[in-house]
Amino acid sequence: TQLLEQSPQFLSIQEGENLTVYCNSSSVFSSLQWYRQEPGEGPVLLVTVVTGGEVKKLKRLTFQFGDARKDSSLHITAAQPGDTGLYLCAGNSGGSNYKLTFGKGTLLTVNP
Amino acid sequence: DAGITQSPRHKVTETGTPVTLRCHQTENHRYMYWYRQDPGHGLRLIHYSYGVKDTDKGEVSDGYSVSRSKTEDFLLTLESATSSQTSVYFCAISESGTGYSPLHFGNGTRLTVT
């Protein structure tokens, strides 16, 4: 079973601060997805990265896929309370969605 | 938002009773999935379906069965519920089965087995 380690597990910051969360594995992934989950709801896809070294931006969120496609990071600039949630990464190694491996998530709290 | 409805949203049941959770989609997507989410474990795949009457096991399928008689409905059954099956269950759909196709999740069913 391939593992995705997410760090930190918990993060509590003040509004306006910057932060980075990490998703690491010893396995190579063909693609990696980031989801955000709010309390009482299902995860919602933020981005899919495919190419090693790829950087994608979604407003204040910047996603990077490692050159070796074994790790990824999510950087949030000037965090807002609306960014609060559980951030999940999911790696795909076999080309099929039923082979998605989810990390345990980073629970982010942004305090006003 | 993708049209995915899970029912019930909450359920409390006793050990040994059968339980069926329903997932209904209005997107006509071919692929459907059942996950469970537990603290310390993240999301784990129970079963998935790649078409009507086509299903297969996921990572944690023991104690669960599924059925898909129509494109829009995917049922998850716990034949004899145990306390270890207390969890939040999520249904997801995707248009294709590739790793590049996003999963769209329902809002979950919180199941408590006493």
pLDDT of A1-33, one tens digit each?
568 999 999 999 999 999 999 999 999 998 999
Instruction: Give the closest-approach CA distance of B60 to chain A in angstroms.
Output: 12
B49 contacts B66 by C-beta, under 8 angstroms: yes
Answer yes or no: are the C-beta atoms of B77 and B19 closer than 8 Å: yes
Contact B56 A98 (CB under 8 A): yes
CA-based nearest residue to B21, from B32, B7, B31: B7
- What is the predicted pLDDT for the residue at B5? 97
In this complex, is the C-beta atom of B100 within 8 Å of any C-beta atom belonging to chain A? Answer: yes
φ/ψ of B11, rounded to 5, equals -155, 135
Q: What is the pLDDT of residue B2?
A: 65
CA distance A87 to chain B (A): 11
**pLDDT score at B3:** 93
Q: What is the dihedral of CA A32, A71, A5, A16, to 10 degrees?
A: -90
Q: Which residues of B touch A100 (CB under 8 A)?
A: 45, 99, 103
Residue numbers in A near B44 (CB within 8 A)? 102
User: In this complex, do B103 and A97 lie within 8 Å of one another by their Cβ atoms?
Assistant: yes
> Distance between terminal CA atoms of chain B?
34
Cβ separation A98–B40 shorter than 8 A = no
| Average pLDDT along chain B, 114 residues, taken 10 residues at a time | 90 97 97 94 93 94 97 97 98 87 94 98
pLDDT for A95 equals 66
Nearest one of B1, B4, B10 to B89, comparing CA atoms = B10
User: What part of B 52-71 touches A (C-beta under 8 Å)?
Assistant: 56, 58-59
What integer pLDDT is reported at residue A52 of this predicted model?
94
Q: Does B49 touch chain A (CB under 8 A)?
A: no
Q: Using a CB-CB distance cutoff of 8 angstroms, which residues of chain B are in contact with residue A40?
A: 107-108
Sheet containing A19-24: give its strands across.
A5-7, A19-24, A71-76, A61-65, A55-58
pLDDT score recorded for residue A71: 95
Q: Does B74 touch chain A (CB under 8 A)?
A: no
CA neighbor of A34 nearest in space, from A25, A17, A21: A21
pLDDT in tens, A55-109: 999 999 999 999 999 999 999 999 999 999 999 999 988 766 667 889 999 999 9
pLDDT at residue number A50? 92
The predicted pLDDT at position A97 comes to 64
**Cα B86–B89–B91 angle (5° rounding)?**
165
Contacts of A88 in chain B (CB under 8 A): 42-43
